[in-house]
Structure 1
Amino acid sequence: MFNRTKAVIATVATCFMCFGALAQDKNVALRISTWVPAQQPLNPTLQAWADDIKKQSGGTLTFTLFPAEQLGKAFDHYDMARDGIADITWVNPGYQPGRFPIIGAAQLPLYISNAKAGSAAINEWYQQYAATEMKDVQFCMAFTSDPAGMHSRKKIVLPTDVKGMKIRPANAMLAQFVTTLGGTNVQASAPELRDLLERGVADSVMFPWGSVVLFGLDKVAKYHIDFPMFAAPTVLVMNKEKYKSLSVNQKKAIDDHCTSTWAEKVATPWADFEAAGKPKVAAQAGHEIVEMTPEQVQIWRTAAQPVEAAWAEGVKKVGGDPKQILDSLKKTLAKYKSAL
């Protein structure tokens, strides 16, 4: 009985020490910035992610979410985290050509089949490179949009159809692909795209289905390739000094939410939202959904080979081993059953 009483006292003392450590943590308010409209499902998902961190931190970490480019343009979100304009930002690395060549492997056409397990795979794969490639920030996790095709004012079936067209690519890798196929790239943020399509400044966009509806692109683009031609990996990063300023408990709360499990959780509602857009578009009169045959898919794969070669050269320039990087990505995608 005496030993049991001692054990209980020791346990209680330990708990008080834990609570005391939490009580000593300073309250920290953090700003999260995204660049998609408030109704885009990533925003409430990130809010739920933040709320779970708040709970684990004992309420000492609180978050305010700023969607729709309130704190800065989509193209600036990496630098916003680096410079402390926001504490945590959602970044599309493909918006800055050549700056992040390693993660560009996950932007290559015809590699990723789905966003859910695919996000867990991409995060696990990229964690080994992030500290080197994104050393200006505290890397949290990577996840991807739902793989998608092209949505156009005129019908596209084969790579040769792109020649002479004006395309808004999803990222820098796909911009190279468009150039290789003889098309012209149009750089614009998502909110600008409907106007560009209506005015003929762009003929086609590379976009997931739900976002086509969200941004009203289905009012202009009537032809749609139904094949996961590309995915757009994105990352969540944090200001490095802000992270360093946190207590051990607070850092752990952040770290515990920067995992492949959380990458899949964050990606899932977004993927479901995008997938739900396809039947909405297909139900509209005047739209044509173009299905790809295996032979046509192989033609697209062959057309993408110069892009992969150019990516490999870019990786070599920063001292990377493109074969090792790509083999690692393929192996991890296969592990998570998310390879195309």
Structure 2
Amino acid sequence: MTLFGKLCLSAALSLGLTGAASAADFTMKIAAGAAPDGNVCKNYLDVWAEEVKEKSGGRIDYQMFCGGTLAKMGDAVNRVSQGVADVAWDLPGFYGARFAGLTAIGVPGLYTDPEPASGALWNAYAAGDLGTIDEVKVLWVQAVNNNSFFMAKPLEDYTNLNGTKMGMGSQIRAKVLEALNGVPIAIKVPEYYQAMSKGAVDGLMTTAGAVFDFGIEELVKEIYDAPFGGGLTFVVMNKDFYNSLPDDLKAVIDETTGYDRSKWASAYLRDEEHGTVTAAGINIRTATDAEVEALQPAITSGRTAFLASAPENPGFVAAIEAQLAKE
């Protein structure tokens, strides 16, 4: 090779012109308030993002921003709407009545298995039966496992909490706890560890994901499982980002989200949490039939509180129940 040829080859290599992959046409900034090493940012959001990258032929890439660095829980939807993040995971329950149609899935007694519940919820939302969300594009929903009690100290009787202080994050859970003579303490998930470690709460009414993502399992001595109702996370996208994509890349987003992704999301979380709790070796008590019967007034109290809190709520629950019957 001549000296000129060698110089040309060197220049090509330095400029990446020898067949190396070109830069992506679009890069999604994906935000989550969850811990970087937890089950939201590892093996969940990244799995979807890698699938989008592959199906788009590398034309859509992504960057992950976890731990609240770009968007905190309860504010991620706002950050996506503002264009600070392109995609974000968040908890609709943090927004009060803003997403009441979706959060209706958390009413106690609606489901035991979150996988079909997610499918039903998505179909009810897609049909327009749960209200409209104009500020962002909802990519998928994730019904989570029913809430449990995660206790710093075991209780002899969970059907009467007798003043036990319980951290939680929704009106429905508060009503259930009050009906059990407990004291609900409204705190956000990132505050759970400090509240429990300092004795501000005696336990948490939440799911395993919220506990294990933040290392709270080291404070938990017992888990009490009962049909207390589930909850919800969702993933949303900035509408301007979506609309900026050409039709073939919009199709990639559409293909990897929606009904099937919603069911996949809940199945993943259900199975992952089961394995995590089992491996942790924490004592688990499951409510007996007699205890479930004793808990029914409290469970009904949570459902009644939601139905009565807004005139549209009974319709939301009815729509979800109709879709659950089809699942």
Pick one of 278, 297, 303 that aligns with 2:298: 303
Call closer, same or farther: CA 1:120–1:156 in 2, change over 3 Å. farther
State the distance in 1 between where 2:119 and 2:177 align. Answer: 28
Tell me the equivalent position of 2:75.
Answer: 76
TM-score, structure 1 as length reference: 0.79
Tell me the equivalent position of 2:30.
Answer: 32
Aligned length: 302
> Which SS does the other structure have where 1:80 is aligned?
helix
Tell me the alpha carbon deviations over residues 117-139 of structure 1, each in whole angstroms, 9 at most, x when there is no partner.
33223222232348844221112
Which range moved further: 202-211 or 45-54? 202-211
> Which SS does the other structure have where 2:320 is aligned?
helix
State the distance in 1 between where 2:73 and 2:126 align. Answer: 23
Tell me the alpha carbon deviations over residues 5-52 of structure 1, each in whole angstroms, 9 at most, x when there is no partner.
xxxxxxxxxxxxxxxxxxxxx912111111211222232322121222
Tell me the equivalent position of 2:318.
Answer: 327
Structure 1 residue runs of 4 or more that deviate by more than 6 Å after TM superposition: none
Mapping of residues 177-256 of structure 1, within 5 Å: 177-209=176-208, 211-256=210-255
Q: Measure how far apart 1:178 and its partner are.
A: 2.9
Q: Which amino acid aligns with 1:325?
A: F
> Which SS does the other structure have where 1:276 is aligned?
helix
State the distance in 2 between where 1:131 and 1:137 align. Answer: 15
Tell me the equivalent position of 1:113.
Answer: 112
Q: Which amino acid aligns with 2:114?
A: A
State the distance in 2 between where 1:111 and 1:120 align. Answer: 13
Tell me the equivalent position of 2:7.
Answer: none
Q: Is the 8 A contact 1:140 1:235 kept in 2?
A: yes
Q: Is the 8 A contact 1:126 1:142 kept in 2?
A: no
Q: Measure how far apart 1:242 and its partner are.
A: 1.8
Q: Which amino acid aligns with 1:31?
A: K
TM-score, structure 2 as length reference: 0.82
Q: Measure how far apart 1:323 and its partner are.
A: 3.7
Call closer, same or farther: CA 1:236–1:116 in 2, change over 3 Å. same
State the distance in 2 between where 1:228 and 1:304 align. Answer: 8
Asked if residue 141 in structure 1 is aligned to residue 140 in structure 2, the reply is yes
Q: Is the 8 A contact 1:121 1:332 kept in 2?
A: yes
> 5+ unaligned residues in a row in structure 2: which ranges?
1-23
Q: Which amino acid aligns with 1:309?
A: T
State the distance in 2 between where 1:250 and 1:232 align. Answer: 31
Tell me the alpha carbon deviations over residues 120-169 of structure 1, each in whole angstroms, 9 at most, x when there is no partner.
232222323488442211121111222241112341644431x4222111
Give the percent of matched residue pairs that are identical in Structure 1 and Structure 2. 22
Tell me the equivalent position of 1:272.
Answer: 271
Call closer, same or farther: CA 1:184–1:80 in 2, change over 3 Å. farther
Q: Point out the structure with the larger helix share.
A: 1
State the distance in 2 between where 1:219 and 1:243 align. Answer: 41
Q: Which amino acid aligns with 1:58?
A: G
State the distance in 2 between where 1:314 and 1:135 align. Answer: 23
